[in-house]
Structure 1
Amino acid sequence: MPNGGDVRATSATIRAVNGLTSRWAAGGVPPEDFAKGTAFSAVGVWPLLAFLAEGAGGPARGELEDALGMRADEAPDAARDLLGALSGIRGSSAAIGLWARPRLALHERWVAGLPDATLGRFSGDDEADRKALDAWASERTGGLIPAMPLQIDEATKMVLAAAQAVRTQWLQPFDEAELAPDDGPWAGRCLVGLRRSTSLLDRVGVAETAAGPLTVLKVLGDTGVDVHLLLGEEEAAPGAVLAAGIDVLNGAHRTLPGDSLPLGEPGPGLNVRNVRSLTREPVLDVTTSPFSLTADHDLLASPALFGLTTAMDDRYGHFPGISDFPLAIGQARQSALARFTAEGFESASVTAMGSCAGSAAEPRPTYVVRRIDLEFDRPFGFLTVHRTSRLVISAGWVAEPVDYVFEGYDDEDDDY
């Protein structure tokens, strides 16, 4: 990653984080979240699991290792490298925060291993402590996530949190346009669309995946962070589409690029044909929907996915490497945001885990050229991807478009 270390040295970490993203998409997002649209970030969860695994013992340690896809004694170094690499990407940031009750003694070695984390102590005033943690979340995400996703009360003995944010501007901006689907779940609505044309046909490709044919469009950002828009078959499950997109990113499926696609409709949303033109340049014309998504996730609703099943059992302590005081996981939540506009993209997440006591008139055309039209005119997925390392920073599903509002028009005054 640029300014963030040797990509080859972190390839195992990237595979592990992307693997958690894929499993979260395929089995950890409730159907109702997909139905309304959602965003999530395994990058915001994985480092926390890594540091917890270092301090865990017994069955909790093994479960965390399974979730991480890495041994507990290797994971902390990998997490530190990952956070450093994220901070090294222009327009991105990442941070770890730690807070504990005044009388909770934490092992100095474990605390010292957290990158740039200052141990804060709760004041005992829950409202004041909550405001302090909210301020940290807002500051570390540039205001994108204004509050810590946990409840702070007397039962909260310790909070370990991760914040990450990324902003990028498109190398080629979109123009605002109308989007009026003829069929599908968005049919019959006049929607806000984003449109642009390019001669670079390799920005789009089609892969045959376990979820069926998948159309992938790469929208390139100026910071080395891109957004991959994913359109599967209409009946394909959202989680399967996102998981398939990660498989394509990892090279598990061959992708046929735009200049090699057959004429007709070779993939979801695509129409490929030869047309007459004034120039020799081929055309890729894309229309998509802008989106602004916010989501809150309770990680303990799928504890096995995150390796927290045993760690939730407050009858015992599970983290002898963190404190001699018996600790269990009482809360684990993430707040995530993703915003795609004509000019660029931004996303952020704050993930926190709270420990309790144990007991995201034109000239005549003279050339024949290839023209590809691509419309994202029904629900679709996205991946935020670091271009060179292929790390998935965030992922999500766009279920609802933005309705077009005609300025100066009032349907109550319509006499027709």
Structure 2
Amino acid sequence: MIDGAVRASNELTARWARHACTGETTALSGAGLWPLLALLAAAADGPGRAELRDAVGRDPADADRGAREVLEILARGTAVDGAFGVWHRAGLPLEPWWLDAAPGGSRGELSGDPDADRPRLDAWVERNTRGRLTRMPVALEPDTLLVLATALSVDTRWRTPFQDFPFRPRSGPWTGRPRGLAGLNSSGADLDPLALAETPGGPLTVLTVAGLDDVDVHLLLGAPDRPAGDVLAAGVDALDGGHPLRRGAELLAEPVARTAPGVTLTTVPSFTPAPTLRTTTVRFDVTAEHDLLADPALFGLATVSTDDPRGHFPRISRTPLKIGQGAQDVNAAFTAEGFKAAAVTAFGVAAGSAPPQDEAPVLSAVFDRPFGFLARHRPTGLVLVAGWVAEPEEWPEDASSGPGFW
């Protein structure tokens, strides 16, 4: 059961992905952004409060509680770590509500000297992303009065590791690479990791790669001409129960298998008639930077980023405040052994064998063209990181040829 704060965060992820994922390699974390927007909604008034309410999808009166719920999920995860940080300019008068409502975590003062403050905030980022990211994504300006930030990191190993191999797709945009791609394949008797989602935009193949702890990564493949943002948004909706999923044995029906993008159904000689799932995908390492004020209306920031002599956040301080900067840096890497990711989001507030005797069905799922991915906290359903892979890693030049090219 997806609870209110998690569902609201996932809806932001889907909406952001639909807007930001245009077909190039990228990644984003709605789970890193949503708690900050929820806190700002609870602290705002006037038109800005209404805009933030719409972006957050939650009543501002209890949005701060939702923010703490999501941050608690990140903090208590096994494969995911999360942190919240807030730094105020020394001497900025703070309201009692803000002192009580702001989540626990790192709290500190800004001296007003960027050269002195920047190393402390960068060190916080590096410490809370396990070294995958090393800088606070917003600049410290002379008029920066407040910095709000979240950091999350994901580090999980697969229950069933993949095998590396040099992969040369036979068709599509990834053909013609001289060295081939850094391919990954696996094979097993469990068919349930593969699913077909029936969505309004067409069928969507969903492959769940299970982590040893509490995070899974879902690979998403739509029709070749389906927009990247639509694939990711539909994937979030399907995993939240919004679209029906057909799993495992249901896909052994030939008409069903034919409708699943990237999936084929064949029979092979085998010792037993038990079916097999074979998966082929690629290594990827994605890095992205997002300016959250490039389209402020998407995040409910249009009004609260403008000058107003009364300010927009009276529950934080009687000093007039506005959002001066908003940014997120993300990195995500998918390998044969596991998945690692990190995101920092911040606002600057300014101001072997014998011959086989039988045949068995084989479901093959091949991700040999651009696809989406979602890293998801299994116990709660919170989508941690979403992204699109347009450029996978190439097979290393000094690597052996492995088991052969496809």
With normalisation by structure 1, the TM-score equals 0.91
Cα distance in 2 for partners of 1:108, 1:347 equals 36
Map Cα deviations across residues 313-367 of structure 1 (whole Å, 9 max, x no partner). 113410011000000101000011111111111111111001112xxx9433222
For 2:280, what is the secondary structure of its paired residue? strand
Q: Per-residue deviation at 1:402?
A: 1.3
User: Are 1:266 and 1:272, in contact at CA under 8 Å, matched by a contact in 2?
Assistant: no
Assess if the C-alpha contact under 8 Å between 2:80 and 2:215 holds in 1: no
State how 1:7-406 maps to structure 2 within 5 Å: 11-27=3-19, 29=20, 31=22, 34-35=23-24, 37-189=25-177, 190-261=180-251, 262-263=253-254, 265-316=258-309, 317-357=311-351, 362-406=353-397
Distance in 1 separating the partners of 2:190 and 2:126: 38
CA distance, structure 2, for counterparts of residue 61 and residue 348 of structure 1 = 29
Contact between 1:186 and 1:378, CA under 8 Å: does it hold in 2? yes
Matched residues in 2 for 1:183 and 1:277: separation?
29
Separation of aligned partners in 1, 2:62 and 2:399? 61
Q: Distance in 2 between matches of 1:13 and 1:107?
A: 25
- Which amino acid in the other structure matches residue 350 of structure 1? V
Runs of 4+ in 1 over 4 A off after TM superposition: none
**Residue type of the alignment partner of 1:24:** W
Measured after TM superposition, the shift of residue 281 of structure 1 is: 2.9
Following the alignment from structure 2 to structure 1, what is the Cα–Cα distance between the partners of residues 68 and 329? 22
Identity of aligned residues (%): 45
Gapped regions of structure 1 (runs ≥ 5): 1-7, 410-416
Number of residue pairs the alignment of both structures matches? 394
Amino acid paired to 2:300: G
Question: Could you list the per-position Cα deviations for residues 257-306 of structure 1 after superposition, in whole angstroms to 9, with x for gaps in the alignment?
Answer: 23222336331111112222113432111110111111110111121121
Q: 1:162 offset after TM fit, Å?
A: 0.9
CA distance in 1, matches of 2:21, 2:131: 27
Partner SS state of residue 98, structure 2 = helix
1:408: how far off? 8.2
Q: CA deviation at 1:108?
A: 3.2
Contact map agreement 1:274 1:370 (CA 8 A) in 2: yes
Distance 2:227 2:341 in 1: 23
| Distance in 1 between residues matched to 2:396 and 2:336, nearest whole Å | 17
- Gaps of at least 5 residues in structure 2 are 401-406
TM-score, normalising length: structure 2: 0.93
Contact 1:198 1:284 in 2 (8 A): yes
Q: Secondary structure at the residue paired with 1:406?
A: coil
Determine the structure 1 residue equivalent to 2:404.
Answer: none
Query: Once structures 1 and 2 are overlaid, which stretch shifts more, 328-337 or 79-88?
Result: 79-88
Kindly provide the amino acid, as one letter, of the partner of residue 149 in structure 2. A
- Code of the aligned partner of 2:321: L
User: Superposition RMSD on alpha carbons, in Å?
Assistant: 1.7
Shift of 1:223: 1.0
| Matched AA of 1:303 | P
- Whether contact under 8 Å (2:80, 2:154) holds in the other structure is yes
Q: What SS does structure 2 have at the residue aligned with 1:201?
A: coil
- For the residues of structure 2 that align with 1:214 and 1:136, how far apart are their CA atoms? 39
CA offset at residue 403 of structure 1?
Answer: 1.5
